[in-house]
């Protein structure tokens, strides 16, 4: 319970703390296979974000800033001070916001198909954010509409997790879940695309070890966003999962685990320096980098097996 709202979370293991944040419409079970593998050497925490999974779904603030504050407060109730934050999709945007608002509590950043690093997003999400979309969403949950829903999922290149994604979409039939989904979506997306863009603050991550993981076939948040984020985040690592869509941590969990463990082993946790943070803020955002090309030659590519 945080601020009077039920907050569901999974927690296991002992050691350095890893905080896993899921995407919109999803829940903490997206990380389940990874959590089981990591719990021998790390403390793993995977919450259901407010409005998702088994957490409360109130009429409330579902912005990334509110989510970041919610994660700080949850960690405080668990007596956890500093974490490596792993965020997927919307959870990646929350992870970046967490690092921006609470740099003293962030040891590393791992962004997986993350939102918040560009405007483009799949047209279906833009449509879902439009006025009146809340009236149509329940209709797609009806049995006759399921073939249509499956076709839409295939267009997002998430067919490797098709049953998983469809099951989560069907939750939107429930009014409370649907309302929370729409409030969350409309806080980050409108008819023109993503409205929350962290690129103007990415230079502040230069003291925080950062790993970017993207599927080359991601059509929800296109892989071009990974290239822009890589250039905007000094010292970041970029790993592309060949053939994977928006869920590389699910379509290739063993490979994802290897990449994550290597990153954790090779990077020391960030040490917050208030004076240095002030210098960065006073210096401001560096001159804009050239547009990202279609490829980055030194970005490692991992076969996802899809």
- What 3-state class would DSSP assign to 142? coil
How many residues make up the chain in this entry?
306
- What 3-state class would DSSP assign to 27? coil
Q: What are 214's strand-pairing partners?
A: 240
Rg (CA), the chain: 18
Helices 162-170, 146-155: axis angle to 10 degrees equals 120
Residue whose token pair is 């699910």: 250
From 161, 218, 225, 251, active-site residue: 218
Q: In 10 A of CB 175, how many CB atoms?
A: 11
* 63 is annotated as an active-site residue: no
Closest CA to 17 of 48, 39, 50: 39
Contact predicate 150/166, CB 8 Å? yes
* 89 is annotated as an active-site residue: yes
**In which element (H, E) is residue 239 found?**
strand 237-242
From 246, 249, 251, 304, active-site residue: 246
From 26, 48, 52, 89, active-site residue: 89
* 155 is annotated as an active-site residue: no
Catalytic residues: 89, 218, 246
């Amino acid at each position: 319970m945080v601020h009077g709202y039920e907050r569901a979370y999974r927690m296991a293991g002992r050691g350095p703390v890893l905080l896993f944040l899921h995407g919109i419409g999803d829940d903490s079970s997206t990380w389940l296979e990874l959590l089981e593998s990591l719990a021998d050497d790390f403390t793993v925490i995977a919450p259901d974000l407010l409005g998702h999974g088994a957490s409360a779904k109130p009429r409330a603030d579902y912005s990334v800033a509110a989510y970041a504050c919610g994660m700080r407060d949850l960690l405080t109730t668990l007596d956890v001070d500093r974490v490596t934050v792993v965020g997927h999709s919307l959870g990646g945007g929350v992870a970046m916001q967490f690092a921006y608002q609470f740099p003293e509590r962030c040891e590393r950043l791992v962004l997986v198909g993350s939102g918040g690093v560009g405007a483009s997003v799949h047209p279906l999400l833009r449509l879902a954010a439009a006025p009146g979309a809340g009236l149509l969403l329940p209709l797609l949950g009806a049995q006759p509409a399921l073939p249509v829903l499956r076709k839409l999922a295939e267009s997002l290149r998430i067919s490797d997790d098709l049953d998983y994604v469809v099951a989560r979409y069907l939750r939107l039939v429930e009014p409370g879940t649907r309302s929370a989904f729409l409030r969350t979506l409309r806080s980050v997306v409108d008819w023109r695309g993503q409205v929350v863009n962290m690129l103007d603050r990415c230079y502040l991550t230069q003291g925080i070890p950062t790993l970017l993981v993207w599927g080359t076939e991601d059509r929800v948040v296109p892989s071009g966003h990974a290239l822009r984020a890589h250039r905007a985040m000094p010292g970041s690592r970029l790993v592309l999962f060949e053939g994977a869509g928006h869920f590389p941590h699910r379509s290739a969990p063993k490979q994802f685990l290897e990449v994550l463990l290597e990153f954790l082993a090779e990077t020391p946790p960030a040490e917050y320096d208030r004076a240095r943070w002030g210098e960065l803020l006073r210096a401001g955002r560096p001159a804009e980098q050239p547009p990202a090309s279609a490829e980055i030659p030194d970005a490692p590519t991992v076969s996802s097996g899809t």
